Amino acid sequence: MFERIGRFAYRRRWFVLAIWLLAVAAAVPFLPRVSSALEVGGFSSPHTEAARTRELLRERIPGYSPSSLLVLFSHPTLRPTDPAFVQQAQQALRAVPSIPHVTAIHWFTENPSQIAPDGSLAYAVVDLDLQPEEAQRVLDDIEAAIVPTDLRVQLAGAPAFYADLEKVTERDLRRAELIAFPFALAALLFVFGSVVAAAVPLFIGGVTVALVLGLVYALTRVTELSIFTLNVATLLGLGLSIDYSLFLVSRFREELAAHGLEEATARTTATAGRAVFFSGLTVLIGLSGLGFFEFLFMRSVGLAGGLVVLVAVAASLTLLPAVLGILGPRLDALRVLRRGPETGRFWHGVTAFVMQRPLHVAIPVIAVLVVLGLPFRHVRLSSPDATILPTSTPSRQALEEFRRAFGDGALSPLVLAVETERPVNDPQTIAALYDFTRRLAADPRVTRITSIVTIDPRITLAQYQMLYADPTRLPDPILRQAYQQLAGDHLTAIYVYTDSLPASDRAKQLLHDIRAMDPGPGLTVWVDGGTAEIVDVVARMYSEFPYAALTVVVATYVVLFLLLRSIFLPLKAIVLNVLSLTASYGALVYVFQDGHFSSLLRFSPLGFTEASLPIVMFCILFGVSMDYEVFLLSRMREAWDQTGDNRIAVATGLARSGRIITGAALILVVVAAAFVTADVVLIKALGLGIALAIALDASIVRVVLVPATMRLLGQWNWWVPKRMARTLESVRVEH
């Protein structure tokens, strides 16, 4: 089948090239619109307790706002209690209430807790009727409506965070592309030695990325996709398409030395093309694991990655053979490096050294990989917040100002939805709420509470019961506004402010304790807020991960079994993959959670590991790392079929593919490492994790551990039950 594809691509080479170029031309006009069509965020689920609580509050409390923007005011000399400060703050926001989706503004003049204890800062809360990830769309309108005054104005909260995240993500992508292309070209020149041969994989990579982004834009018309799709599509699009092109171009040069142009093209697709197909299948299987998750970010990465694989494999099997057929011997034109023919002497030497002492080599290498993975034992998983942005972004600066003035927990309280059997204003309900809030306030981790029964400490329980007897006739406007915002018929909200950051162990333990509390007679409590969202999201992600991982591992085993016709080789490949993946997990914790090399990599340590990263890395790397296993073992299988000698098969396979695997890995490492320059810590961590895992996998794992373990297994490498072997051989012959 693959040989027929190669012959067709050669004989219709100009037609094939024209079809691909027309497809790219159709995609190009939509490329500038891709980022604006994508969604920011995507780390939440509608099925967590936190999300259900948020929806419950939105549905049943008329004055509840699903998201809000904090407008911070400060001045070098004026204080928030000064009339001039108040007048200028109100002047600054006078046009904001008329903006669509703005429902209310809550002033620090009405609530003294919105003034910093040291008087350096005060803030107004702008309520919006949009979900946090959608609210950033109105941020530009709000910023434009703010009237300049002598006060310093900063914007904080979820809408500001998501707006900055979108801008920084686009900037990161442009920077990474500018770095990746020239470095990838340099690596290709080193591998091939000629400008034309080096340009071909880059051309295929550019076509792949352009088409994938065009398809991504088309998909946004029918479904939501995360903004991080841009980075993943570019990283994988360049990396995989260049990798596949590298293997095919290398094999084509080998075949062209012994055969005519058409035959060389056909044989290239029949051998390297077949390996590319199965390699793409393993990557697709890995990425399909992300389909188990309901989180937009993860589903988007899986969908974009799947598109990349399909387009990259299709381009490698059709467009690339057509281009090779057009170029022929001119592939080596414009030489810049004179490279002798690949003799494989170095790789033969490495293989001989390793296979003579397999245990002496394998045990230390395995020990090194295990040690690299040890930091993962103290991993702390959390969801992303504004701390993943660089300190230069406005929302991050506003967050740090707010934390200094009000404390770590003031921006993200626990939000309790308390459902009541009797009406909220019933005297028994008021008494139960009064008792419950006092028990909460007695906890040393709680700094303050906002509820309908904690508005003023001077008001007694009996007075609250009397005041709320008829909420429509509350005499005090502040009390009336608070009741409208915090209470419905049978539901009320309680905001519990803590002394800790949402992702801290202290805040998580408080959440656990509140959920375990008995709120009192006639009351039922659900909890939302930053800490609840983090805990619920992590729990839901990792409840689904085992099923995704098991499916990926089993499907990968089946594909490798069909390709290699061996019982043990696929199993060994999976074990070695897990080893290199574990090492990259350890590095993730050591660098981004613990903060080592943070000054060198230009980021602020998170103190946690973003929860989706280990899962996304598993699904991406499990397939991508198999690339090199597939190419290496398929060459070994060819040699085994010819000789029946395990030592010769291993040595020949490594000699024929060692340099090209190293070159391919180098290019993918370069492309992934370009994303380490990202300002968004999440993308920086993903780039470093992929680069490190591929570097380890293509060096000590494939070059050292593979031959060592194959020497230890001996003839068992190629064992398969006889009946199964006959079935596989008959299927292979038919195809």
The domain that contains 27 carries what CATH number? 1.20.1640.10
In a domain, 683, yes or no: yes
**Would you state the pLDDT for residue 735?**
44
The range of the structural domain enclosing residue 400 comes to: 396-534
Residues 597 and 495 in one domain: no
Cα gap 242→485, rounded to integer Å:
56
Of 519, 534, 549, which marks where a domain is finished? 534
Residue 663: enclosing H or E segment and its boundaries?
Answer: helix 646-674
Q: How many CB atoms are located within 10 Å of the residue 227 CB?
A: 26
Residues 728 and 582 in one domain: yes
Residues 624 and 734 in one domain: yes
pLDDT over 70 (residue 528): yes
pLDDT tens profile 303-324: 888 899 999 999 999 999 999 9
Q: Give 8-61 as a DSSP string.
A: HHHHTHHHHHHHHHHHHHHHGGGGGGHHHHSBS-----TTSHHHHHHHHHHHH-
| DSSP annotation of 146 | P
pLDDT tens profile 279-290: 888 888 888 888
Residues 499 and 588 in one domain: no
Cα gap 489→499, rounded to integer Å:
31
pLDDT band per the 50, 70, 90 thresholds, residue 625: confident
In a domain, 518, yes or no: yes
Computed over every residue of the chain, the mean pLDDT equals 86
pLDDT tens profile 651-691: 888 877 777 777 778 888 888 888 888 888 888 888 888 88
Of 534, 555, 587, which marks where a domain is finished? 534
| Overall domain count for the chain | 3
Residues forming beta bridges with residue 155, ordered by sequence position: 71
Residues 631 and 513 in one domain: no
CA distances from 95 to 89, 106, 297, 461, 689 (A): 12, 15, 35, 40, 47
In a domain, 730, yes or no: yes
**Would you state the pLDDT for residue 733?**
44
Residues 512 and 611 in one domain: no
Whether the CB-CB separation of 626 and 553 falls below 8 Å is answered with no
In a domain, 323, yes or no: yes
In a domain, 557, yes or no: no
pLDDT tens profile 153-170: 999 988 888 888 878 887
Cα gap 328→436, rounded to integer Å:
81
Q: What are phi and psi of 74, to 5 degrees?
A: -150, 160
Which tokens in the block code for residue 269? 């697709």
Whether the CB-CB separation of 501 and 430 falls below 8 Å is answered with no
Residues 289 and 411 in one domain: no
| Model confidence, pTM | 0.81
Residues 284 and 424 in one domain: no
Of 634 and 590, the one with more pLDDT: 590
Residues 471 and 527 in one domain: yes
- 446-450 and 491-498 beta bridge pairing: antiparallel
Using DSSP, state whether 99 is helix, strand or coil.
Answer: coil
In a domain, 370, yes or no: no
Q: What are phi and psi of 468, to 5 degrees?
A: -90, 5
Amino acid at 50: A
Residues 585 and 734 in one domain: yes
| DSSP annotation of 447 | E
Of 295, 311, 337, which marks where a domain is finished? 337
In a domain, 717, yes or no: yes
Residue 531: enclosing H or E segment and its boundaries?
Answer: helix 530-564
Which residues neighbour 214 within 8 Å (Cβ) at sequence distance 6 or greater? 24, 26, 27, 28, 30, 31
Residues 581 and 721 in one domain: yes
Which tokens in the block code for residue 92? 């600054």
**Would you state the pLDDT for residue 45?**
80
Please give the sequence-ordered ranges of beta strands (E in DSSP) within 131-268, or none if there are none.
152-156
Residues 309 and 412 in one domain: no
In a domain, 579, yes or no: yes
